[in-house]
Amino acid sequence: MSETLNPSDIQDFDVAFEESYAKVWMNIERKVIICELLADYIPIGDFKEIFSQIGEIIKAGGFEKFIFDKRSLRAFHQPTMEWYFIHWKKDMLGFGLKVHRKILPSEKWFEKMVKIAKDQIMQNYPDNIIDQLDIRYCESIEEAIRL
């Protein structure tokens, strides 16, 4: 597990929940949720549970931006990414979550895997919602909050 967030980046955020694989912050006024993964690999069942909890917060709070800090990851799991992209994002779009900011691990191979997986998802799911989302990759939480 690693501590990747700078406390000053999230000083006006409240911890929504924390468990062994993730820590989640929220700022209701800014309508922003931050999910920081804490382990190098998250089993898909645990990932879905974390995102189910995040989904309940989004449904209750009118959030518009989701920041996903994946810097701790050292393994890439295609079925997890596919579920997150096709199912979770689509469900959350229905509750107004349109802005997604992502922070990837610094390893270039991870970035390439994300691109390959995204291309495959786009091909396999032509009715996806990507054109309805504002997705950007950032280098830090501060940048992700700002953009």
Distances (CA, A) of 32 to 42, 65, 86, 97, 127: 23, 5, 21, 9, 27
β-strands 32-37, 65-69 pairing: parallel
Interval 98-135: pLDDT, tens: 999 999 998 888 888 888 888 888 888 888 888 899 99
At 36-84, the pLDDT tens digits run: 999 999 999 999 999 999 999 999 988 999 999 999 998 888 889 889 9
Quick one: 7-146 is in which CATH superfamily?
STAS domain (3.30.750.24)
The reported pTM is 0.89
Between CA 5 and CA 85 the distance in angstroms is 24
Domain ranges in the chain are 7-146
Residue 9: which pLDDT band, with cuts at 50, 70 and 90?
low
Q: Which residues of 78-91 are buried (b: 16+ CB within 10 A; e: fewer)?
A: eebbbbbbbebbee
Residue 56: partners with Cβ closer than 8 Å, 6 or more residues away: none
